[in-house]
Amino acid sequence: MQPIQLDFHRKATHTPWIGLVMTTIGVVVMLWALTQQDIAKQRRDQIAEREDQVNWQKKHLEQQQQAARKEIPANAKIATIRRGQMISPVTGLALLEKTWGPNVAYTKIEVNTADRDLKLELESRSLNDALALVDTLQKTPNVQRVTMAHEGVKITDPFKPTQAVMEVVWREPQP
């Protein structure tokens, strides 16, 4: 083995320029990368803030549209139903009161003011009494249409009454 000769007083023969240049370039690249990271983080924060603003604006716009929809009916059918709810059922019930006779018993009355419609289930002593009620209702001036949907005799009852289902559509009286 050869002995190591260390000479600490010896002068360097050449300067390592390549190493210094590479180190300087490395420091510059590292600083550039850190700045790019900061710029990217700032852009991300700006984008997140902008997205929050857009989401808030969408939510606010949706709330305004929903409030507007509540005030204005969505379609004509809803408007018709609302107008129908404002109509009094007294007109239709007054028709029944005018045309009622002692030989007819109403077992069920459904009033639909939106369509100006009465659905009746009734019992009468005979079929002629039920048909007489239909004729009387048709002759009434405010009645638009009377339809007898079903008719039958109640066999189990000893008096054998006639059961009928009718639909009456009325007009609103003209002032």
| Residue 59: count of CB within 10 angstroms of its CB | 10
Where do the domains of the chain lie? 15-72, 88-170
Q: Rounded to the nearest 5°, which phi and psi values hold at 166? A: -130, 160
**What is the DSSP annotation of 39-80?**
HHHHHHHHHHHHHHHHHHHHHHHHHHHHHHHHHS-SSHHHHH
Report d(CA 6, CA 14) in Å as an integer. Answer: 18
Name the pTM for this structure.
Answer: 0.53
d(CA 151, CA 143) in angstroms, rounded, equals: 21
d(CA 120, CA 141): 19
Average pLDDT estimate for 70-89? 74
Residue 73's pLDDT is 60
Confidence at 75, pLDDT banded by 50, 70, 90: confident
Chain-centroid distance, C-alpha 115? 23
Which residue is associated with the tokens 């007083």? Answer: 9
For residue 109, which amino acid is it? I
Tell me what pLDDT residue 90 has. 86
- Per-residue model confidence (pLDDT) at position 174: 65
Give tens-digit pLDDT for 5-48.
877 777 767 778 898 999 999 999 999 999 999 999 999 999 99
pLDDT digits (tens, 9 = 90+) for 81-121: 777 778 888 888 888 898 888 999 999 999 988 788 999 99
- What residue type is assigned to position 143 of the chain? V
Read off the pLDDT of residues 129-161 as tens digits, 9 standing for 90 and up. 999 999 999 999 889 999 999 899 988 888 889
Q: In the prediction, which pLDDT does 132 show?
A: 93
Domain range 88-170, CATH class: alpha beta
Query: What pLDDT does residue 42 have?
Result: 97
CA–CA distance, 138 with 171 (Å, rounded to integer): 12
Residue with tokens 């009928």: 164
What's the confidence (pLDDT) of residue 74?
A: 64
